């Protein structure tokens, strides 16, 4: 039997998306641009919702939190990648890798659950419009947000504790641009059977459960919209869901694309490139999807900049 040195490793090496030297400046510029757009776009949503009293409603309360989570979600991976590209270093400490993985799981799980909560909010708004403000009261909104944090935190704690029990051999290379749970688990020298069981079970639970809730909510929404007589009323009712439905489709399609890419090709570099879709592209596009056709957000941003410009002129 082969003898392994199962000492605690001090660091991992992130191979990134490409090792070609000529591509590093391009990757740095591309990901820096996408990161800045993501942060700026989501910050504008946060400013619009927080500054306009007309947007202090359940729908925008959850949108505010989704934008905040998207900023945190992207910030767990891209800054470290940019530093590694700029310094031409691939190293990440063991503690740093575990920390990055835990925060990635936390905010990724929150994204998933918040989209489900927002689907429920749209279901109540369209199927029970007369009781909407009674059902979606501030107390319930706060509890839904708290439950979302608790579920995601419990999953994160479980997954990270499962990784901490593993032993790793020195000189480990992760064929990814961040410490992804599956990639780290596969590098362990100790038995990972229990870890894989937990990963698959939690993925089915936290992936399939929210998706089933979203599909159920929209099946009820479609049934309710069909009963609305005027065509204009149907369009107005569905338009309130269009942005959320677009974000849900983008989120799940990109995640499914990454899963199918890794399952079919078994190619880690291809999986890393596909992961860019849900780790960077989706959070970057969310603000555009929610704001381009949303007159309330545009009005709030215009009012905010007018007020800010007026104050700047007076001072």
* Alpha carbon distance 233, 217 (integer Å): 19
Give the residue among 164, 278, 255, 268 at the shortest CA–CA distance from 203.
Answer: 255
Q: Per the structure block, which two tokens stand in for 9?
A: 């490793």
| Residue ranges covered by each domain of the chain | 11-296
Q: Give the best-scoring range by mean pLDDT among 81-95, 227-241, 280-294.
A: 81-95
pLDDT band at 61 (very low <50, low <70, confident <90, very high): very high
Summarize the confidence of residues 48-58 as an average pLDDT.
91
The percentage of residues in the chain with a pLDDT greater than 90, rounded to a whole number, is 46
Backbone angles phi, psi at 136, to 5 degrees: -90, 60
- The CATH number assigned to the domain with range 11-296 reads 1.20.1070.10
**Is residue 4 pLDDT above 50, yes or no?**
no
**Is residue 54 pLDDT above 70, yes or no?**
yes
Summarize the confidence of residues 277-283 as an average pLDDT.
87
The residue ranking higher by pLDDT, 130 or 263, is 130
Q: Give the best-scoring range by mean pLDDT among 101-115, 156-170, 244-258.
A: 101-115
Q: How many helices (H) and strands (E) does the chain have?
A: 13, 3
- Which residues lie across from 172 on neighbouring strands? 12
Contacts from 15-24 at CB under 8 Å and sequence distance 24+? 15/90, 15/173, 15/174, 15/175, 15/176, 15/177, 15/269, 16/81, 16/84, 16/85, 16/90, 16/176, 16/177, 16/272, 17/177, 17/269, 17/272, 17/273, 17/276, 18/269, 24/85, 24/88
pTM above 0.85, yes or no: yes
Summarize the confidence of residues 243-263 as an average pLDDT.
76
């Amino acid at each position: 039997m082969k003898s392994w040195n199962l000492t605690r490793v001090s660091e991992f090496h992130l191979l990134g998306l490409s090792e070609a030297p000529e591509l590093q400046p391009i990757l740095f510029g591309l990901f820096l641009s996408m990161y800045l757009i993501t942060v700026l776009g989501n910050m504008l949503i946060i400013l619009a919702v927080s500054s306009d009293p007309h947007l202090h409603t359940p729908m925008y309360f959850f949108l505010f939190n989704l934008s905040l989570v998207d900023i945190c979600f992207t910030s767990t991976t891209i800054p470290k990648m940019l530093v590694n590209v700029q310094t031409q270093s691939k190293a990440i400490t063991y503690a740093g890798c575990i920390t990055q993985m835990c925060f990635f799981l936390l905010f990724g799980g929150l994204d998933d659950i918040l989209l489900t909560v927002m689907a429920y909010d749209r279901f109540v708004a369209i199927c029970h419009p007369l009781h909407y403000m009674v059902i979606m009261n501030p107390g319930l909104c706060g509890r839904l947000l708290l439950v979302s944090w608790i579920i995601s935190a419990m999953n994160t704690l479980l997954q990270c504790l499962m990784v901490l029990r593993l032993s790793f051999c020195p000189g480990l290379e992760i064929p990814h641009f961040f410490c992804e749970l599956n990639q780290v688990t596969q590098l362990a020298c100790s038995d990972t059977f229990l870890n894989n069981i937990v990963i698959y079970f939690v993925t089915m639970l936290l992936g399939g459960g929210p998706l089933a809730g979203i599909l159920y909510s929209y099946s009820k929404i479609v049934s309710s919209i069909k009963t609305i007589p005027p065509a204009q009323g149907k369009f107005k009712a569905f338009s309130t869901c269009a942005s959320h439905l677009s974000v849900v489709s983008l989120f799940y399609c990109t995640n499914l694309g990454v899963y199918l890419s890794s399952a079919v090709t078994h190619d880690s570099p291809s999986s890393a490139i596909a992961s860019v879709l849900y780790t960077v592209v989706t959070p970057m596009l969310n603000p555009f999807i929610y704001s381009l056709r949303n007159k309330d957000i545009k009005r709030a941003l215009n009012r905010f900049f007018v007020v800010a410009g007026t104050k700047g002129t007076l001072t």
